[in-house]
């Protein structure tokens, strides 16, 4: 009897066997319709085999297509996602298929993004660019697989290297993938690539509509698209002739999907898929992740250095200032901003918090307005001219600003901390002639807003760009000669073992936005901790010293990249039930895993103890030998028996510990 194992998009870790009627053509990767519980559903065939069932099987009703929707390579990738990240197999298959795909025979017309090719740049390449191109081009030409870490200082011309490599690949008929960590970056890169290549270029990210995503997915599958520029999920597209993959800003935490299965890391998916195609992967960064540094030392990545800037300008001068009392912007920084206005140069001000003020508090009784569903302090936001409201940054619940303390009736409530809105308000008072733009999640909530804002600032229609960490990404603004960081310590003391690494990377990245053309740049960091290793190393531009010290600390404490970390998160409406389930499961795991050299830490209430009305407890499992032992640990976790009222979320290599 022919039996097909079928995966459905449900949170279960196994497929389901179905009888294949004689004459029905199905195979791995095919989409089929079958009875699933009380309803009929569409699933994907994982495998077909001959055997005798132990029970009566339901039949597959019919196949939706005349062939497989998923290639052997992409189906294998989905199965790997399930194994690697402990995710339900059906949800992994759903991640690589577009929503509401009716048929593979849908029209997939796709017009070229540029009518004529733009010849390659004629300017003189730096020695670092020449070395990088020679080494990586050779591997591409020989069609030998390879994985490179392109370590280039800010403004070293990594984008030009990417573009020339992509031009080579598409000239030879191959496909190229280029992914960036933020949707706001896809537009600028898409525009630059579309203007330089005479082949179809497609944009891919989560803000696209379903119809556009289906059309683009099919065009990539059929080979009609040669270049994809996208965010994290572009790593899961159905390439047919992939020759080159580029991950820009590979260190960025946005490449890790959190909160929705599968919790994959796009960088790791790219490396695996590129190897399966026998292609070349390039991970680029001015501040590579510690995971990539260790991969270089293990021989898993080849290091390519680009230590010099392409412009005549030198590395920007960096000044450390103490934050001012009672203000957001120190007088010294305000004066430097005024000087740039007089010289008609542009400035960037980084404020790593959105909103106006971070906490509204009663100093008489200590009351803080907390979200009833999430248990965290609400953030004060501007709701109009002279009007304010409170918002939860987790569930976006809103409430009016109270006139007095609800607990003790004190009429004096103080708003503490500063977000982007408050800094913009202060700068408008200090520099009334300045044209100021704000870039944060609130100003980029609608599609195309990011591209419009980028083009407006690039065209010189604003003097100062105030924003969250988005402004530290790969944007190229030639007229920016000053970068100010209002609170360089914002992430330094977060309860996260990556806090120092993230702070160092953010400061180096945002400093790299200054002085990228022929004008000298300057950076001002307002900090209470000028002697901290992360701040000191960023100011000195000595990333190597930071890496050596941080890796030594991670090794001593047993944290990634010297172990695999698995976060377990239990949630439910009843806190006692959640706590009991977490304690019981951790006890079972500790008994099974401790003799194998692994460590179970917890359980404890999560840093965000409540979300959406559900109480949350978490624990960490440190897997001492991730290559050999991770599969076995995940198998034990998938076998957990939980009360119906409690959910367990498994997150391998978590970047969000809240």
Instruction: Indicate the DSSP class of residue 418.
Output: -
Residue pair 625/550 in contact (Cβ under 8 Å)? The answer is no
Listing DSSP states for 296-360 in one string gives HHTTSSEEEEE-S-SSS--PPEEEEEPPPTT-SS-HHHHHHHHHHHHHT-EEEEE-S--SSBSEE
Instruction: Tell me which of 13-27, 249-263, 351-365, 446-460 is least confident.
Output: 446-460
Whether the per-residue pLDDT at 114 is higher than 70: the answer is no
CA dist 383 → 379, 399, 465 (Å): 12, 11, 21
Question: Phi-psi bin for 243: left (phi > 0), alpha (psi -120 to 50), beta?
Answer: alpha
How distant, in Å, are the alpha carbons of 223, 376, 403, 412 from that of 360?
55, 12, 12, 10
Read off the pLDDT of each residue in 322-350 and give the average, rounded to a whole number.
Answer: 95
Stretch 115-135: mean pLDDT: 74
Instruction: Please confirm whether the linkage preceding 262 is cis (ω < 30° from 0).
Output: yes
CATH of 127-306, one of 3.50.50.60, 3.40.50.620, 3.40.50.300, 1.10.10.60: 3.40.50.300
Average pLDDT, integer, range 215-219: 93
Total-model pTM = 0.92
**Residue with structure tokens 């806190």?**
575
Residue 397 near residue 373 (C-beta atoms within 8 A): yes
Pinpoint the residues of the chain covered by CATH 3.40.1440.60: 2-95
Q: Quick one: which of 469, 463, 416 has its CA closest to 444?
A: 469
Mean pLDDT for the stretch of residues 25-41:
95
Domain 564-652 in CATH: superfamily? Ribosomal protein S10 (3.30.70.600)
pLDDT at res. 447: 65
Q: Which fold has domain 2-95?
A: GIY-YIG endonuclease (3.40.1440)
The label of the residue with tokens 């497609």 reads 202
439 membership: H or E segment, kind and range: strand 436-439
Q: Write down the pLDDT at residue 105.
A: 82
> Which pLDDT belongs to residue 120?
46
pLDDT (average), residues 122-129: 83
pLDDT band with cut points at 50, 70 and 90 for residue 34: very high
Q: What is the pLDDT of residues 126-176, one digit of tens each?
A: 999 999 999 999 999 998 999 999 999 988 999 999 999 999 999 999 999
365 vs 400, 404, 408, 411, 465, CA distance in Å?
20, 12, 7, 12, 38
- Do 349 and 414 contact (CB within 8 A), yes or no? no
Share of the chain above pLDDT 70, in %: 96
Mind listing the pLDDT tens digit for each residue in 583-628? 999 999 999 899 988 999 999 999 888 888 899 999 999 998 766 6
Residue 264 pLDDT > 90: yes
- Give pLDDT, residue 117: 46
Give the whole-angstrom CA distance, residue 442 versus residue 434.
21
Confidence of residue 374 (pLDDT cuts 50, 70, 90): confident
Beta bridge partners of 319: 524
Task: For domain 317-355+418-555, give the CATH number.
Answer: 3.40.50.300
Residue range(s) in the chain whose domain bears CATH number 3.30.70.600: 564-652
Has residue 72 got a pLDDT over 50? yes
Q: What is the pLDDT of residues 542-564, one digit of tens each?
A: 999 999 999 999 999 999 999 99
Where in the chain are all domains bearing CATH 3.40.50.300?
127-306, 317-355+418-555
Q: Is the pLDDT of residue 359 over 90?
A: no
Cα gap 275→255, rounded to integer Å: 19
Distance CA 117, CA 336 (A): 42
Strands 242-248 and 280-285: parallel
DSSP label of 402? P
Residue 95 pLDDT > 60 = yes
């Amino acid at each position: 009897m022919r039996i097909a194992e079928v995966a459905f998009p449900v949170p279960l870790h196994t497929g389901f066997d179905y009888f294949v009627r004689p004459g029905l053509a199905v195979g791995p990767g095919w989409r089929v319709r079958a009875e699933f519980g009380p309803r009929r559903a569409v699933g994907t065939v994982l495998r077909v085999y001959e055997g005798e069932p132990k029970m009566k099987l339901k039949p597959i009703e019919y196949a939706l297509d005349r062939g497989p929707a998923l290639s052997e390579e992409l189906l294998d990738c989905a199965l790997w996602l399930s194994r690697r990240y402990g995710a339900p197999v059906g949800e992994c298959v759903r991640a690589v298929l577009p929503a509401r795909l009716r048929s593979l025979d849908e029209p997939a017309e796709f017009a070229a993004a540029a009518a004529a090719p733009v010849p390659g740049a004629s300017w003189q390449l730096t020695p670092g660019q020449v070395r990088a191109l020679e080494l990586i081009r050779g591997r591409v030409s020989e069609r030998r697989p390879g994985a490179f870490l392109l370590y280039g200082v800010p403004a070293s011309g990594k984008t030009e290297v990417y573009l020339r490599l992509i031009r080579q690949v598409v000239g030879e008929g191959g496909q190229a993938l280029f992914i960036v960590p933020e949707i706001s970056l896809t537009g600028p890169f898409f525009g630059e690539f579309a203007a330089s290549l005479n082949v179809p270029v497609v944009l891919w990210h989560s803000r696209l509509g379903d119809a556009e995503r289906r059309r683009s997915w099919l065009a990539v599958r059929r080979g009609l698209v040669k270049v994809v520029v996208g965010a994290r999920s572009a790593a899961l597209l159905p390439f047919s002739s992939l020759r080159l993959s580029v991950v820009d800003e590979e260190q960025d935490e946005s490449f890790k999907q959190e909160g929705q299965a599968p919790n994959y890391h796009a960088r790791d998916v790219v490396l695996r898929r590129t190897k399966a195609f026998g292609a070349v992967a390039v991970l680029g960064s001015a501040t590579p992740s510690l995971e990539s540094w260790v991969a270089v030392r293990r021989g898993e990545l080849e290091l390519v250095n680009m230590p010099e800037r392409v412009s005549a300008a030198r590395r920007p001068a960096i000044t450390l200032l103490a934050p001012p009392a009672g203000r957001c912007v120190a007088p010294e920084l305000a004066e430097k901003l005024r000087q740039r206005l007089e010289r008609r140069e542009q400035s960037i001000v980084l404020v790593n918090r959105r909103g106006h003020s971070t906490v509204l508090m009663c100093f008489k009784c200590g009351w803080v307005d907390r979200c009833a569903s999430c248990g965290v302090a609400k953030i004060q936001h501007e709701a109009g001219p002279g009007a304010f409201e409170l918002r939860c940054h987790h569930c976006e619940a809103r409430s009016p600003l109270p006139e007095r303390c609800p607990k003790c009736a004190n009429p004096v409530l103080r708003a503490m901390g500063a977000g982007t809105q408050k800094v913009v308000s202060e700068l408008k008072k200090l520099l009334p002639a300045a044209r100021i733009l704000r870039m944060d999640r609130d100003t980029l909530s609608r599609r195309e807003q990011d591209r419009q804002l980028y083009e407006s600032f690039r065209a010189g229609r604003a003097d100062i760009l105030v924003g969250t960490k988005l402004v530290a990404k790969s944007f190229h603004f030639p007229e920016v000669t000053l970068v100010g960081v209002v609170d360089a310590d914002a992430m330094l003391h977060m309860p996260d073992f990556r806090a120092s690494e993230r702070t160092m990377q953010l400061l180096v990245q945002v400093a790299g936005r200054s002085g990228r053309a022929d004008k000298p740049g300057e950076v001002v960091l307002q900090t209470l901790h000028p002697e901290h290793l992360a701040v000191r190393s960023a100011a000195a531009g000595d990333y190597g010293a930071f890496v050596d010290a941080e890796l030594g600390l991670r090794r001593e404490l047993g944290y990634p990249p010297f172990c695999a970390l698995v976060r377990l998160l239990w949630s439910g409406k009843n806190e006692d039930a959640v706590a009991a389930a977490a304690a019981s499961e951790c006890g079972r795991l500790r008994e099974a895993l401790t003799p194998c050299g692994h460590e179970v830490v917890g359980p404890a209430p999560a840093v965000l103890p409540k979300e959406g009305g559900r109480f949350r407890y978490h624990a960490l499992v440190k897997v001492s030998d991730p290559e050999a032992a991770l599969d076995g640990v995940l198998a034990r976790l998938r076998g957990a028996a939980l009360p119906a009222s409690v959910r367990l979320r498994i997150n391998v290599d978590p970047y969000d510990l809240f």
